[in-house]
A and B are shown apart, each in its own frame.
Chain A
Amino acid sequence: MSEKILQLSSMGIKFGGIVAIDELNLEVNEKEIVAIIGPNGAGKTTAFNCITGIYTPTSGDIYYLGRSILNVKPERITALGIARTFQNIRLFKELTVFENVIIALHLRYKDNLFTSTFKLNFKKEEEKIKEAEKLLKSQNLYKYKDEISQSLSYGLQRRLEIARALATKPKLLLLDEPAAGMNPQETNELTEYIKRIRDEYDVSILLIEHHMDLVMDISDKIYVIDFGKLIAEGTSKEIQNNDKVIKAYLGEEENA
């Protein structure tokens, strides 16, 4: 029996009078890869922002490991074990690859201002540096260690963003369009990569993606949202054969 990591129970959010998400129910279990798909503007990223505490839902609730995380600040949510990447890559642009990762490690290597200023905790510091290097090596980013992160290629930036998220040792990783802007070959590699991350780092993954091949290939479960409403959920097979989904979303592709 696997544990429930994340559960949205009829979560909704309104901006002014506009309903961005309406009654969304969603579950992510341990070591599952779950995808949210839907046309642009359907409310997928908004859902991510609700889960990570950037927005506060106006109705419903969000449970993480059985505990409500409504009204918890974003940084606390990260500390609890939910890490994310962003649709439009948000790295610390002017900082080096190494700095990007080590900053994310601060969360787990807490240090007070005094010891940190006078470098009194050098053992801890060394450990931290080692872990950052290990992480970079495992993501094949080590050779870019001292490059300014902005100068990396698009694909590497995405990978660095994932590495940075992993540095917080999450139980749940939210990936917002990880394949955006990648060519078919890179996308194929990404499929393996995401699976590898799940196994190596023991995380559950919730992702938003437009590349249907990728989604169908790796997802244990798929949720389809349109206009803020959940219109279907199930395995890739079930989704592929769902009339509503075909109409709202995949239909266009079939006609083409």
Chain B
Amino acid sequence: MKIKFLIKNLNIILSVIMILLCLAFLFIIDANNGSNKYLITIIEKSLVYAVVALSMNLVIGFTGLFSLGQAGFMAIGAYITAIFTIPIKFRESIYYVEGINADLATMTLPIPIAIILGGLVAAIIAAIIGIPILTLKSDYLAIATLGLSEIIRAVIASPMMNTITNGSYGLKRIPSFSGVLECFIYCGICILLMALVINSSYGRDFKAIREDEVAARAVGIDIFKAKEISFVISSFFAGVAGGLLAMFMRSIESRTFSVNLTYEILLIVVLGGIGSITGSIIGSFVVNIGKEALRVFDKPFTIFGFMVDWPIFREGFRMVIFSILLMVVVLFFKKGIMGGKEFTFDNIIKFFKKKGEKHE
């Protein structure tokens, strides 16, 4: 009886164990954060990017809407988080150009509330703009959301917003995470919530729309409503992730949130696997760790005792390799690392069982 229970819930048990191991690991690095600065930076960045990547996967991979507005929604979240959390004593020196808006000068919010507020504002904007935009067809939707993202960025950077967003000068001294553990908890909650949505009946509706809009309507799904919900949830979490990114980077400017940020996240989603939750998370870690690992190619290096100092190895070469690798994935491994499947222990067991059967 007990064993049966164990086997039945093996997936959950192993997953919990794995999360606990992660927590323990993070706790250890957190404890000696002096010597692990580099590692912590990479983990934090990967976690934040995983949230954005998953929020993008929600619309692109699960709902089939090719939306490229993520950077804009992140900008909203990032700026709201920054505006409400920068310590009051620094504000005057940051807004040195035109001073700070009188109402905002002394207003602060606790970090989690500021982050959620950022997400909500992003979600509201998405809800309003979604009504006309989501009826557009795939590539027009892509370019319209891309445009929206640029409009948001331009508004933030405009001189009229100087007293609120500090215009094109950016914001500094944003309070950071107290440790990698805090970042893990914030990101973990976001990812968990999105995973729950994806696995709910709404998530199934999203997938139905992705597969076939006409058939989805024929079984009674209000596709417009479902698309709107997906877009709004995705934008909410993009806003939240923007807030987290602001905390990670500690200083932001409007240029951070250009189209290229969206492209980079899109490539994470593709690499991890379109339509896979765990894929987006793995993709984010692979990309961020990979970028760092490839750093050796940015200067002459030694391999097996030989000094390789061809002139091609210099600043920027890692990004060339990296983009070539990405193109290889896009062209030859269209399904990415996970290919729409999930990394669960159930699937791993199944995978090995199948292999075993083949061998017999």
Contacts and interface: CB of A to CB of B under 8 A. Distances in A.
The answer on direct contact between A and B (beta carbons under 8 Å) is yes
Interface of A: 52, 54, 73-75, 78-79, 83-84, 86, 90-95, 99, 102-104, 106-107, 109, 111, 113, 116-119, 164-165, 167-168
Contacts of A168: 219-220
Contact of B208 (A79, A103, A117, A167): A103
Contacts, number: 92
A78 B204 contact: no
A94 B211 contact: yes
A86 B213 CA distance: 13
Contacts of B211: 91-95
9 contacts: A52-B218, A78-B220, A83-B218, A84-B218, A94-B207, A103-B207, A104-B219, A106-B205, A113-B229
A164 B196 contact: no
A95 B212 CA distance: 11
B219 A117 contact: no
Nearest to A128: B201
Contact of B196 (A92, A104, A111, A118): A118
Contacts of B214: 54, 74, 86, 90
Given A90-B212, A92-B212, 16 more contacts: A73-B217, A78-B218, A78-B220, A83-B219, A92-B216, A93-B212, A94-B207, A94-B211, A94-B340, A103-B204, A104-B220, A113-B229, A116-B200, A117-B196, A117-B197, A117-B202
B193 interface: yes
Nearest to A164: B219
A164 B216 CA distance: 11
Contact of B215 (A86, A102, A107): A86
Contacts of A107: 219-221
A74 B217 contact: yes
Contacts of B207: 92, 94-95, 99, 103
A58 B193 CA distance: 46
A231 B201 CA distance: 46
Interface centre among B193, B200, B217, B220 (most CB of A within 10 A): B220
A78 B212 contact: no
A5 to B, nearest CB: 18
Contact of B219 (A109, A116, A167): A167
Nearest to B219: A104
B194 to A, nearest CB: 10
Contacts of A52: 218
Given A78-B220, A90-B218, A103-B205, A119 B212 contact: no
Nearest to A52: B218
B292 interface: no
Contact of A117 (B193, B212, B216): B193
A90 B200 contact: no
Interface centre among A73, A102, A116 (most CB of B within 10 A): A116
A191 B118 CA distance: 59
B188 to A, nearest CB: 16
Given A95-B208, A103-B205, A90 B219 contact: no
B222 interface: yes
B223 interface: yes
A79 B196 CA distance: 26
B215 A75 contact: no
Interface string B204-244: 11011001101111111111000001000000000000000
